[in-house]
């Protein structure tokens, strides 16, 4: 059931309120708790016994409430699927980036109505699983007109949009000439619709020199930066991300000791306990993709131990991770990456908000912070059909999302 936000809503009888608010200490958990929503914001939280009156009441029934998932890495503007590629990979073929071209062909063939319909359906599916804040990328157009179209359509649905014209060099096109196109006419065509730029710095995609050109042009155009890096092997992606002050480097499956040290160095001025100081480069781990491509999982435990802030994201795309389930990503992080439940939930909420720059305060458009439950933040909440978040890993694969509020409105 969905409804419009009441002027105030009290969610009470919460067994475990996992706030992910650094100001509340190491775990940020309140028990026997309640939260009051007013319009789109969180107005109050504390013990249920001390809760103020509100216009409407929702009884959580002793179950757990988390921040809504912040999915900071998706590729949702596409048509078609790549089941044949998936079946080949399951039969033993190794993953290569070239399958992107299959999706480019299908996406170009779809009209605006169809692309928008598909995007809305995927966003609704994500919301039904607890995702309340969504980034998505272009990258399946790969010419000026198609990338601009993808960016425009994405901007009508996603909270933030990333320009990924530098996803793959189209077949038959000179790589340096295409890089020039990305840095020139393509960037100009998408600029009004996007907040970020990304580059796939990997063998078979863009070289270090080409990636540097893309990052420089996009930085000069005023975009925030992200990097797809170190997915298929050790490479220059992490070092480039750090050099350019990128908000995140994503995939990070293969990291040298130097890579980890570089990332850790970006967080030297950050107070993780207080959530204050200079934000560094987030390492975004994409475990659903790692399992689908049969790659080693990103070393989340190693990164955390080194002092690097990490995010978990779905990487929902038709080739390597056709899932929007952040529950699945959290489960995998606990069962196979060595993260505690608290660490995994934090990475999928506060970590994603860090990667997107919406973890605190307001952005330039006046948008409220997401990724944690605190007074003044956007009212994005995820009620589990379980007494604690531990059940996400303890009962893997079960439908544990009971209700979802996005900006104060119940959407699932």
Q: Give the residue numbers of the binding site for 4-imidazolone-5-propanoate.
A: 82, 140, 167, 231, 320
Write out the DSSP string of 191-252: GGG-SEEEEEESTTSB-HHHHHHHHHHHHHTT-EEEEEESSSSS-SHHHHHHHTT-SEEEE-
Sign of torsion, CA 393 399 405 411? positive
Beta strand extents in 241-369 (DSSP E only): 248-251, 270-271, 276-277, 282-285, 310-312
Residues annotated within a binding site for Zn(2+): 73, 75, 228, 315
What are the CA-CA distances from residue 239 to residues 230, 297, 404 (Å)? 10, 20, 38
Q: Which two tokens stand for residue 142?
A: 């790969």
Binding residues for Fe(3+): 73, 75, 228, 315
Encoding tokens for residue 312? 């978990």
User: In the block, which residue shows the tokens 């978040």?
Assistant: 389
Q: Which sign, positive or negative, has the C-alpha torsion 332, 336, 341, 342? A: negative
Residue numbering of the annotated binding site for N-formimidoyl-L-glutamate: 140, 317, 319
Residue by residue, DSSP assigns 157-185 as T-SEEEEEEET-PPTTS-HHHHHHHIIII
Residues contributing to the annotated binding site: 73, 75, 82, 140, 167, 228, 231, 315, 317, 319-320
Contact (CB, 8 A) for 136 and 158: yes
């Amino acid at each position: 059931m969905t409804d419009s936000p009441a002027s105030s809503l009290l969610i009470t009888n919460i067994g475990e309120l996992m706030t992910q608010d650094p100001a509340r200490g190491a775990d940020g958990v309140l028990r026997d708790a309640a939260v009051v929503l007013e319009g789109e914001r969180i107005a109050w939280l504390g013990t249920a016994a001390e809760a103020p009156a509100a216009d409407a009441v929702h009884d959580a029934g002793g179950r757990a409430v988390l921040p809504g998932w912040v999915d900071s890495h998706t590729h949702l503007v596409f048509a078609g699927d790549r089941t044949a590629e998936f079946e080949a990979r399951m039969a033993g073929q190794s993953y290569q980036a070239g399958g992107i071209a299959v999706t480019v062909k299908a996406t170009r063939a779809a009209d605006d109505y169809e692309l928008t319909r598909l995007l809305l359906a995927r966003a609704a599916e994500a919301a039904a699983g607890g995702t309340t804040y969504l980034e998505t990328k272009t990258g399946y157009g790969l010419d000026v007109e198609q990338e601009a179209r993808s960016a425009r359509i994405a901007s009508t649905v996603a909270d933030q949009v990333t320009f990924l014209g530098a996803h793959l060099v189209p077949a038959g096109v000179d790589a340096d000439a295409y890089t020039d196109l990305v840095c020139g006419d393509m960037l100009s065509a998408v600029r009004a619709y996007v907040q970020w730029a990304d580059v796939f710095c990997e063998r078979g995609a863009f070289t270090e020199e080409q990636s540097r050109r893309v990052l420089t042009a996009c930085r000069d155009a005023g975009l925030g930066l992200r990097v797809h890096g170190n997915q298929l092997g050790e490479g220059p992606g992490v070092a480039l991300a750090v050099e350019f002050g990128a908000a995140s480097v994503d995939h990070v499956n293969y990291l040298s000791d130097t890579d980890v040290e570089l990332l850790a160095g970006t967080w030297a001025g950050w107070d993780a306990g207080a959530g204050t100081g200079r934000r560094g480069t987030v390492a975004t781990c994409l475990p659903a993709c790692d399992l689908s491509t049969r790659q080693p999982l990103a070393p989340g435990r190693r990164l955390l131990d080194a002092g690097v802030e990490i995010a978990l994201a779905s990487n929902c795309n038709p080739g390597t991770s056709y899932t929007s389930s952040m529950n699945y990503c959290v489960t995998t992080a606990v069962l196979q990456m060595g993260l505690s439940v608290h660490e995994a939930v934090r990475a999928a909420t506060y970590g994603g908000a860090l990667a997107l720059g919406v973890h605190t305060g307001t952005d330039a458009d006046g948008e409220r912070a997401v990724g944690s439950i605190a007074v003044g933040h956007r009212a994005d909440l995820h009620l589990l059909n379980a007494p604690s978040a531990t059940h996400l890993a303890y009962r893997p694969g079960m439908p544990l999302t009971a209700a979802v509020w996005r900006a104060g409105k119940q959407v699932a």
